[in-house]
Chains A and B, each alone.
Chain A
Amino acid sequence: MYIERKQDLSIFYWLKDDIFADAPFITIVDGFPTEGLSVPTVSVEGSDINIGPFELGNPHGIKYRIWDIDVFGENKSQRDEFGYRILNEVESKIPVYNYDEGFPPDVTPTKTGVLIPERIKMEIIRVDPNLVSDLYWRATVSFVAIYEQT
């Protein structure tokens, strides 16, 4: 399994088993829900992977990736509550595990590194009630993360 996929899964399990462990009624999905949205849902999807200049004098670039965590809440306060929780937790590093060893809850994989989030942003996406059959409240927490091996 590529390290990028392990990062995908690590964020998914981080949301499921750490951030929202106390709220099993939330659907956590890997990838943006394009069909059959059940509210409340929190989805995570990795976006572009970039290699950019790192520092003066260093010929090797740094690999960073943009992540989007979308929150679909039943009402404004639920959306805000979930969004703020992610926003506050994402400021800490996100652990990355070796899922080649297996998946929770049967296996507790070894930690291989951390994702260091930067440029964190929470955006409220206004949804017009006339445009949706089942009203939901949406926010996106996006961040750029660099992987650091431990």
Chain B
Amino acid sequence: MARETRSTYTEGIFEDINATSLEEVFEQQAKNIETLREDLKVQLESLKQEVLAGDYGDIRDAFSLLGIERAMFQKIFMDSVIAIKDKAHNFLITEAVKSTVATQEYNYDLYVNHLLSAMEANQDKLIAIIPNEEAKSVEVKVSLNSLGKPEEWGKAIEAYRNQRNLGKVSKRDKEVGSKIWKEKIYGVGREGGTVQRYYKKDQTSKDVTDKYKNLYRDTIAGRLANIPGGASKAPFWYLIEHGNANVNLGIDADGVPYPTFGPTNFVRNSELAIASAFEQIWTELGRETLEFIKELLKGTREITTPVPPPETPEERKERLRRIKTGQQKIRAARKVQAKVRGKVRRGEEIAEGKLAAFINTQHGRFEAYVQGESIRVSLRDPKSGQFVQLPWNFIEVELEKYAIAYGL
């Protein structure tokens, strides 16, 4: 039988993630993003309905609309963060499987299934997602330290060796041991190699491969069973992440590891996959939210509030009171506009008191002044005390908006 140059992964490798091939793992990764997208789109749709039902304020009011926009972005961002937290483990699992399959030796069902079980057992300790609302992004930190340290894997190998009474061996024996591992155990178990026994006496050889057929599988099963901490630990994750080249797990050293491979960086890749899935979905949701706001601004979206039940006398009284208050606010704002139109001329400096006195309130205060070629009007936020500067061409809209907002 021709010896393969590279060990291939075993069939059962994808068992724990309900896949049958590497292609299906890639499909699962795409599906992770798709599920996330679908879930969040449903949430966004429900948010839109709430907005249209007036739960976030009156969409016909320009000022409320700004608030609605902010609230929608905030809510859908936080919903996205919660959703990505919920699905992050799936991303980690698919990255782990993808990377493990890419290594030699660890692309084996016993390893992968043990790794996934340990990850499942430590699910709550592996991933931290920190939202950054300003940047509308997430920072993802994955740490697999709770799965164990590489030296624990070394201990498992040593324990199994002792269990089989192999005990301590000399340097020369280790070199022989490495050769046996490479050709008779790993070679037969993973690379399809054969073992020939040579009989010097009659100068013949015999195929004795069957004797070694199950040795690799038994050895791996034995090592896994001897991991300190049992099934909740998979310390060999370190080797899959950082590579086994330049690391010797022969414990007493001097043995030659076979096969050797470099780092897969699947922990870092998982962090990027989660962050990038979030960015991808957030870009879409953000775009859709923006489109919705535009439709509201253009008035092309209609209010779909269901017909309310007939109001009680108390409700009617309350509604009329609200209308009256609203009308009063609008009248106050109009007064401000009219006065500003009448009083403010280009190039004229306005005393703060003139407008302040005009707005019959103890909450707000305007400040108008000439700056360059244009007239600026500022409004002091009664809460923060900060002045908000308003460009002249927006005064009419802004004044009304702020007058209503601050109950002027």
Contacts and interface: CB of A to CB of B under 8 A. Distances in A.
Interface of A: 31-35, 37, 45, 47-48, 50, 52-53, 56-57, 66, 68, 70, 72, 119, 121, 125, 127-128, 130-133, 136, 138, 140, 142, 144
Contacts of A142: 265, 268
B150 A128 contact: yes
Nearest to A32: B262
Contacts of B287: 56-57
Contacts of A72: 246
B69 interface: no
A119 B151 CA distance: 31
A33 B246 contact: yes
A82 B268 CA distance: 21
B280 to A, nearest CB: 6
Given A50-B276, A144-B272, A130 B154 contact: yes
Nearest to B261: A34
Given A48-B269, A125-B242, A131 B247 contact: yes
A128 B239 CA distance: 12
Interface stretch (B8-16, B35-43, B249-257, B304-312): B249-257
Contacts of A128: 149-151, 154
A131 B262 contact: no
Contacts of B254: 133
Give 10 closest A-B pairs by Cβ, nearest first: A32-B262, A34-B245, A133-B253, A128-B151, A37-B246, A34-B260, A53-B283, A131-B247, A34-B262, A133-B248
Interface of B: 149-151, 154, 242-243, 245-249, 251, 253-254, 260-263, 265, 268-269, 272, 276, 279-280, 283, 286-287, 290
Contacts, number: 71
Given A52-B280, A68-B263, A144-B272, A35 B245 contact: yes
Contacts of A31: 262
Nearest to B249: A131
Contact of B286 (A45, A56, A119, A121): A56
Given A34-B243, A130-B251, A131-B247, A56 B283 contact: yes
A132 B247 contact: yes
Contact of A52 (B248, B263, B276): B276
Nearest to B263: A32
Nearest to A31: B262
Contacts of B286: 56
Given A32-B263, A52-B280, A133-B254, A66 B272 contact: yes
Given A125-B242, A142-B265, A53 B280 contact: yes
A30 to B, nearest CB: 13
B44 to A, nearest CB: 16
B253 A53 contact: no
A53 B282 CA distance: 11
Given A66-B268, A68-B263, A133-B253, A33 B245 contact: yes
B151 A132 contact: no
B262 A127 contact: no
A136 B247 CA distance: 10
A129 to B, nearest CB: 10
B265 A68 contact: yes
Contacts of A125: 242
9 contacts: A32-B243, A34-B243, A45-B262, A47-B265, A56-B287, A57-B287, A119-B272, A131-B248, A132-B253
